[in-house]
Amino acid sequence: MISKVYTRTGDAGKTSLVSGTRVDKDDVRVEAYGTVDELNSNLGVLLHSTKLDDPDIVAVMRKAQNKLFNIGAYLANDKADALYGLKKEDVEELEHMMDQMNEELPPAQGFVLPGGTRLSATADRCRTITRRAERRVVTLAKVATIDPLVLEYLNRLSDFFFVFARYNNIQNQVEEIIWDKNA
């Protein structure tokens, strides 16, 4: 049980991994799980939007928060020998939800710029943070063994946020803004 939030052990720029190993706060592993944590926080903002009322989408996003916490815990443990709480079915669930949303979307007429409704803009922020988390995990995977399912899930989750942003704009009759390379 945690009785105090502050420990003063990180005041000099070091932190402890789950295993107890002390590392710099800018260690590649800390960057990876810290970015996953940042994503989870932003997903929390997305989930608490007053305009998000589809219970199936809310359930997928809430589940994603738990999956991200599992991924963060896994990445924070330099001695982890297995990834718990993430399965191939979780990737497939994201794909299924994207397929459902895509059925209601017109074909994209070009590269869609981030934005539209506030909810879609928040989803776009989540998408870009997911991409950064992916990059941080790729960097970590160069020096540590990382279960490939982590990258697969993050990759699909970023796709989910993109599709959701488009879906939300279309559902709210907000015209997509297409990139104008001559602007």
| pLDDT, tens digit, 9 for 90 and up, residues 92-118 | 999 999 999 999 999 888 899 999 999
> Could you read off the pLDDT tens digit of each residue along the chain, which spans 183 residues?
667 777 776 777 888 888 888 988 989 999 999 999 999 999 999 999 877 889 999 999 999 999 999 999 999 999 988 899 999 999 999 999 999 999 999 988 889 999 999 999 999 999 999 999 999 999 999 999 999 999 999 999 999 999 999 999 999 999 988 999 998
Long-range contacts of 150-158 (CB under 8 A, 24+ apart): 150/71, 150/74, 150/75, 150/83, 150/86, 152/91, 153/67, 153/71, 153/86, 153/90, 153/91, 153/94, 154/71, 154/130, 156/91, 156/94, 156/95, 157/64, 157/94, 157/130, 158/127, 158/130, 158/131, 158/134
Q: What pLDDT does 2 receive?
A: 66
- The number of residues in the chain equals 183
CATH code for the part of the protein at 24-76+85-171:
1.20.1200.10
Q: Are 130 and 154 in contact (CB under 8 A)?
A: yes
Those residues whose C-beta lies under 8 Å from the C-beta of residue 42, and which sit 6 or more positions away, are 122, 125, 126, 129
- SS3 of 83-136: CCCCCHHHHHHHHHHHHHHHCCCCCCCCCECCCCCHHHHHHHHHHHHHHHHHHH
- In whole angstroms, how far apart are CA 111 and each of 87, 139, 148, 160, 179? 31, 27, 29, 16, 5
Q: Are 14 and 63 in contact (CB under 8 A)?
A: no
* Domain extent listing, the chain: 24-76+85-171
Q: What pLDDT does 13 receive?
A: 83
User: pTM score > 0.75 for this model?
Assistant: yes
Q: What pLDDT does 70 receive?
A: 97
Q: What pLDDT does 151 receive?
A: 98
